[in-house]
Structure 1
Amino acid sequence: MATREDRGIEFILDRPHVELNQLLKLVGLCDSGGAGKQMVASGAVSVDGEVESRKTRKIVAGNVVEAAGERIHVRGA
């Protein structure tokens, strides 16, 4: 579940991890997982301050993802 906050989007993770391309879809930054893969491949996504090229990187609670001018804070349930 994603909620918008002043400092970005908070995503509550209800499982051990989510793939990066799926996270981008779940928070509404792209329309599909495939579009999420393209966004990552373009170099437009960073995880914890570093550009990420692995489209299916496992995102866990505590990670901060930045894409499309948004900051996504991933929290555990």
Structure 2
Amino acid sequence: MTDDDASSTELPIRDDMIRLGQLLKLASLAEDGAEAKALIDNGLVQVNGEIEERRGRQLHPGDTIRVNGATLRIVRG
């Protein structure tokens, strides 16, 4: 377990998948789709340790997202 794993917040989802833009809104890291797009376009979003450039990226339980110092781990809800 890394330090990031220890300090991550679990974010439960109902389905097997959620898109990155939806997740940013669900986690209150973006107010709307435009803000989510801006975060992604500015390289401020990492998925599983790599900068992600696609707002429609499919995320699944076990994926880790890092935005502006906040780390989220998707879990099945």
Q: State the TM-score, normalizing by the size of structure 2.
A: 0.86
Match of 2:38 in 1: 38
Q: Aligned-pair distance for 1:38? A: 1.3
Any gaps of 5 or more consecutive residues in structure 2? 1-5
1:63 aligns with 2:63: yes
Q: Secondary structure at the match of 2:12?
A: strand
Structure showing the higher helix proportion among its residues: 2
In structure 1, C-alpha distance between the alignment counterparts of 2:11 and 2:72, rounded to whole Å: 7
1:11 aligns with 2:25: no
Q: Secondary structure at the match of 2:15?
A: coil
Sequence identity, in percent?
28
In structure 2, C-alpha distance between the alignment counterparts of 1:16 and 1:34, rounded to whole Å: 25
Asked whether the 8 Å contact 1:8–1:73 carries over to 2, the reply is: yes
Match of 2:25 in 1: 25
RMSD: 1.2
Deviation >3 Å, runs of 4+: none
Asked whether the 8 Å contact 1:21–1:34 carries over to 2, the reply is: no
Q: State the TM-score, normalizing by the size of structure 1.
A: 0.86
Give the letter aligned to residue 48 of structure 1.
N
